[in-house]
Amino acid sequence: MSLRAVGLSRTRYGSRARYGREALHAEWTKLRTVASTGWLLLGAAVLTAAVSMAADASATCSPGGCQADTAKLSLTGVQAGQAIVAIIAVLAVSNEYSTGMIRITLTAMPRRLTVLAAKAALITGLVLVAAAVAVLASVLAGRLILPGHGFTAAHGYPPLSLGNGPVLRAACGSVLYLALIALFTLGVATAVRETAVAIGFVLGLLYVFPVVTSVIGNQHWQRHLEQIGPMTAGLDIQATAGLKSLPLTPWEGLGVLALWAAGALVFGALIFRFRDA
Amino acid sequence: MTSITPYHTTAGNPRDGFGQLLHAEWTKFRTVRGWVIGLIIAFLITAGLGVLIAKSAGGSCEAGNGQTQHAVACGQPTYTVGPGGVLVQDQFYFVRQPLAGNGSITVRVTSLIGLSPYTGPGPVPAPQRTSVPWSKAGIIISGSTRPGSAYAAMMATGGNGVRMQWNYTGDTPGLPGAVSAASPRWLRLTRDGDTITGYDSADGAHWTPVGTVTLAGLPSTVQAGLFVTSPRQLMYSATLGSGTMSSSPTEATAVFDHVSRAGRWPVKGHGEVGGAWTGDDIGAGGLQVSPASVGSHQAAGRFTVTGSGDIAPLIAGATNDGPNITVRDFLLGTFAGLIAVAVVATMFMTAEYRRGLIRTTLAASPDRSRVLAAKAIVIGSAAFVAGLAAAAGAALIATHIAQRSGGLFSVFPEPWPTELRIIAGTAALIAMAAVFTLAIATVVRRSATAILIAIVALVIPFVLSAPPGIPSSLVDWLLRITPAAAFALQQPAPQYYQVQANYLASSGYFPLAPWTGFAVLCGWTALALLLAAYLLRRRDA
């Protein structure tokens, strides 16, 4: 049923763009006024930077020569920070269901897809900001800490710099990676609605691929699993060394994660559109 | 004035009703379809990943690309089995004579030099002198020359002083310090029936007993003499996401003199001890630095012996030389099953708050700690059953696939107590993790926070340990103090101090011993339960 058919003429909302703005404003108010959003964003940034620093500090370059991808090493924290990013996205949806708020939301904004789009846009924006801060801090930490652990220019490791093309791609790609994780999770959470189930499913799916590929003996299967897994493929964007041995090119890898995110969002949107709230 | 008759319930003291409380919690659990499905999913993920890993291990051999970064031992390798069923490596150069009945042998070691292999590119230079910490030179009394025989030995080592070792896994330190002409080492072994005693001395006059061992079923005539061996050097390098293991042989040359013996040794003519010595490359066929170099040379009472190999247990795991698939690898999916169980355990408590059921629950059973205890027992038992079915299923099916693969890959044979510990331990880990998550959910009351804490504490440290390249000091530290330490229950084999190997968490060598790791999780669970009971009593529901 269109808006016109139920008697809501365009005079109430004006144009489609105005409707979208209203939806964005409503979602922003909801996110902004829940204390956990800010704390979780801060937590994601701090955890990412802290784990990256811990990885930097515990890495060593042995005198015989070291084989490390310093950009990837200094961005290790993304693997931990993504857990909190996923939780932010889950809560944005599941909190509405657990409090019954969803019924008010949908009464005020009957266009469900617009509601979901507004949520997705806001979560993406917030995660992009937090991720940019976290990634900058991680790269900076790598630049300061790694030379003290033997990763010096003399050993073939110039200090990390965003002026270096591959490092810049790894850093920007990591920010995009976290945003895509948020979108993927948002789609899943819209479909399953339960907080615990959504978080368990997303984190299980992310972490199962790297763990299983680490033990699988068959190179063929291993490569395929690495290409399919949202985390293993997506993190290819962080590689700055040994690109030829990667199962996918960095941008292809991020593309696989984007496909996962798009698939989850479409699936979530369809269910959201046709299911009773 | 009306008198009010206080109401007395006909039911007994509510404290007697713990059985009913358990029954009530069990009814809540089993009637929520999603929770039962959650446990079934935990079972399916854990067992399914085990089957996937077993299938893919077999498949890699069929494809003929066994030498991957986590090489699968393709073909049916034959392993030497030592006393007690341990898989062993038994390769050394043995200069020997038979000894009938009781007796002893004494030698002085004046030099032990290791030779490292050549591994670099370009033309092959002469091997380099190096120190191989566990190169061994000394005297040995062995049941026979067959690899895998029972033995006891006294030896000088490249970097670990004098040791007495027996039956592959036994090891006791003697005099510290390296061997040289200026500070030689005197070694002695005496045999009395099945009992062998080792002594060491710095001057040949003052002797110190190092150890006494009993070798069950030692034949009356044993082979005794000098031996030298030097283990393969394992190299492991990892970048984030991929690790490569390489190993290369080493050899060692030792000089012995002052060989003296007592007892019924072969005689050379006039009843004087001293028949001809026989040199044997025991367990030959392994790679030496140059195959011609092992052997012995005897002149004027001085023996120069060169050997390569090791007398030691085989170490399992993808980054070592032994069979690299272990039962533990088939249980790798445990962590994913654990997430599903944690989701169920979280909701088992948070659903009470969300639906307001907690008020009914506490009205029916006012003693709140007992409610918590009943919930913990129900979720713990249900998780234990699911975990036991998953672990046993994964281990049995995957081992069956391994056997059906027609020897395409081999699984490290575990002694049955270890296999039982790994399977029952996995169930115990899942059960205790469920109780831990339930306690956390009681404390925080919100699903998101509870599941986050459970996953960060139980799963993330394990996930970080799996792929190669994440600095192992960070991982070891996390696997010591976090509840994830309990994954040590899946440790497939002990770490031997006297065997240099890649003991990595990614192959299942955790920094804590199995039950110590489980105790860490139990400690965290106890703390969380205490806090949960306290808050449940003090807070309004």
Upper half-sphere CA count for residue B240 (Cβ side, 13 Å): 26
Contact A215 B332 (CB under 8 A): yes
Q: B51 CB near a chain A CB, below 8 Å?
A: no
- The two beta strands, B92-116 and B128-130, are antiparallel
The answer to whether residues B303 and B226 touch, using CB atoms and an 8 Å cutoff, is yes
- Cα B47 to Cα A155: distance, rounded to the nearest angstrom: 45
Q: Can you give the pLDDT at residue A255?
A: 94
Q: Can you give the pLDDT at residue B409?
A: 62
> Which residues on A lie below 8 Å from B49 (Cβ)?
208, 212
Contact A194 B447 (CB under 8 A): yes
Contact A242 B239 (CB under 8 A): yes
Q: Can you give the pLDDT at residue B503?
A: 78
* CB-nearest partner of B56 from A68, A90, A218: A218
**What values do phi and psi take at B341, rounded to 5?**
-65, -40
Tell me if residue B458 falls in helix, strand or coil.
Answer: helix
Q: Which residue of A has its CA nearest to B467?
A: A214
In angstroms, what separates the C-alpha of A110 from chain B's closest C-alpha? 26
> Which residues on A lie below 8 Å from B332 (Cβ)?
211-212, 215
Q: Which residue of B has its CA nearest to A92?
A: B448
Contact A211 B350 (CB under 8 A): no
Q: Which residue of A has its CA nearest to B319?
A: A215
Tell me if residue B7 falls in helix, strand or coil.
Answer: coil
Which residues, numbered 406 to 435 in chain B, qualify as contacts with chain A under a Cβ-Cβ cut-off of 8 Å? Answer: 409
Q: CA triplet B342, B346, B348: central angle to 5 degrees?
A: 115
| Among A154, A157, A131, CA closest to A68 | A157
Instruction: Give residue A133's region: left, alpha or beta (phi > 0; psi -120 to 50).
Output: alpha
Compute how many other C-beta atoms are within 10 angstroms of the C-beta atom of residue A108: 11
Q: Which two tokens mark B3?
A: 């008198």
Q: B391 CB near a chain A CB, below 8 Å?
A: no
The answer to whether residues B451 and A199 touch, using CB atoms and an 8 Å cutoff, is yes
- Cα B63 to Cα A216: distance, rounded to the nearest angstrom: 14
Which residues, numbered 279 to 338 in chain B, qualify as contacts with chain A under a Cβ-Cβ cut-off of 8 Å? Answer: 318, 325, 329, 332-333, 335-336
- Cα B404 to Cα B303: distance, rounded to the nearest angstrom: 50
- The two beta strands, B92-116 and B251-264, are antiparallel
For tokens 């704390």, what's the residue?
A: A39
- Cα B116 to Cα B353: distance, rounded to the nearest angstrom: 67
Contact B466 A210 (CB under 8 A): yes
Contact A199 B59 (CB under 8 A): no
Which residues, numbered 58 to 77 in chain B, qualify as contacts with chain A under a Cβ-Cβ cut-off of 8 Å? Answer: 59-60, 63, 65-66, 68-72
- Cα B148 to Cα B138: distance, rounded to the nearest angstrom: 18
The H or E element spanning position A80 is helix A78-99
- Cα B153 to Cα A48: distance, rounded to the nearest angstrom: 53
| Among B418, B429, B410, CA closest to B492 | B418
Compute how many other C-beta atoms are within 10 angstroms of the C-beta atom of residue B385: 15
Distances (CA, A) of B512 to A214, B505, B518: 22, 10, 9
- Intra-chain end-to-end CA distance of chain A, in Å: 17
- Cα B256 to Cα B299: distance, rounded to the nearest angstrom: 11
Residue B130 buriedness (CB in 10 A; 0-12 / 13-18 / 19+): middle
In angstroms, what separates the C-alpha of B322 from chain A's closest C-alpha? 15
- The two beta strands, B302-307 and B80-81, are unpaired
Instruction: Please say if the pLDDT value at position A230 is more than 90.
Output: yes
Is the alpha carbon torsion for B134, B138, B142, B146 positive or negative?
positive
Residue B91 buriedness (CB in 10 A; 0-12 / 13-18 / 19+): buried
In angstroms, what separates the C-alpha of A98 from chain B's closest C-alpha? 7
Helices B334-355, B447-454: axis angle to 10 degrees equals 160
DSSP lists the bridge partners of residue B253 as: B113, B306
Distances (CA, A) of B214 to B86, B152, B354: 17, 9, 65
For testing contact with chain A, the best of B240, B408, B478 (most A CBs within 10 A): B240
Q: B354 CB near a chain A CB, below 8 Å?
A: yes
Q: Which residue has the higher pLDDT, B278 or A154?
A: B278
DSSP lists the bridge partners of residue B434 as: none
Q: Can you give the pLDDT at residue B408?
A: 56
Contact B409 A217 (CB under 8 A): yes
- Cα B145 to Cα B91: distance, rounded to the nearest angstrom: 10
Distances (CA, A) of A180 to A95, A196, B387: 21, 20, 33
DSSP lists the bridge partners of residue B128 as: B116
Rounded to 10 degrees, the C-alpha dihedral B46/B50/B51/B53 comes to 140
pTM: 0.81
Q: Which two tokens mark A82?
A: 């993504």
Q: B468 CB near a chain A CB, below 8 Å?
A: yes
DSSP lists the bridge partners of residue B157 as: B136
> Which residues on A lie below 8 Å from B469 (Cβ)?
68
Class of domain B80-313: mainly beta
Q: Which two tokens mark B335?
A: 């962590």
**What values do phi and psi take at B282, rounded to 5?**
-70, 140
Contact A69 B239 (CB under 8 A): yes
The H or E element spanning position B80 is strand B80-81
Q: Which residue has the higher pLDDT, B271 or A271?
A: A271
A201-218 pLDDT tens trace: 999 999 888 888 877 767
| Among A208, A39, A52, CA closest to A126 | A39
The H or E element spanning position B526 is helix B514-538
- Cα B281 to Cα A238: distance, rounded to the nearest angstrom: 51
Compute how many other C-beta atoms are within 10 angstroms of the C-beta atom of residue A110: 13
Confidence of residue A7 (pLDDT cuts 50, 70, 90): very low
The answer to whether residues B455 and B441 touch, using CB atoms and an 8 Å cutoff, is no
**What values do phi and psi take at B72, rounded to 5?**
-95, 135
A93-133 pLDDT tens trace: 888 888 888 888 888 888 888 888 989 999 999 999 999 99
Contact B56 A241 (CB under 8 A): no
> How high does pLDDT run on average in chain A?
84
For tokens 């985390």, what's the residue?
A: A231
- Cα A221 to Cα B63: distance, rounded to the nearest angstrom: 11
Residue B303 buriedness (CB in 10 A; 0-12 / 13-18 / 19+): buried
Confidence of residue A260 (pLDDT cuts 50, 70, 90): very high
In angstroms, what separates the C-alpha of B188 from chain A's closest C-alpha? 40
Q: DSSP code of B67?
A: -
Q: B343 CB near a chain A CB, below 8 Å?
A: yes
- Cα B207 to Cα B188: distance, rounded to the nearest angstrom: 9
Residue A12 buriedness (CB in 10 A; 0-12 / 13-18 / 19+): exposed
Q: Can you give the pLDDT at residue A161?
A: 79
Spans of chain B, pLDDT less than 70? 1-3, 5-16, 58-78, 117-130, 236-246, 268-274, 285-292, 317-324, 405-410, 468-471
- Cα B477 to Cα B463: distance, rounded to the nearest angstrom: 14
What ipTM, to 2 d.p.? 0.81
Contact B409 A59 (CB under 8 A): no
Compute how many other C-beta atoms are within 10 angstroms of the C-beta atom of residue B239: 19
The answer to whether residues B320 and B502 touch, using CB atoms and an 8 Å cutoff, is yes
Q: B100 CB near a chain A CB, below 8 Å?
A: no
Upper half-sphere CA count for residue B270 (Cβ side, 13 Å): 0
- The two beta strands, B251-264 and B170-173, are unpaired
> Which residues on A lie below 8 Å from B335 (Cβ)?
207, 211
- Cα B183 to Cα B80: distance, rounded to the nearest angstrom: 36
Q: B350 CB near a chain A CB, below 8 Å?
A: yes
Compute how many other C-beta atoms are within 10 angstroms of the C-beta atom of residue B249: 20
Contact A76 B59 (CB under 8 A): no
| Among B497, B145, B164, B75, CA closest to B313 | B497
For testing contact with chain A, the best of B447, B472, B473 (most A CBs within 10 A): B447
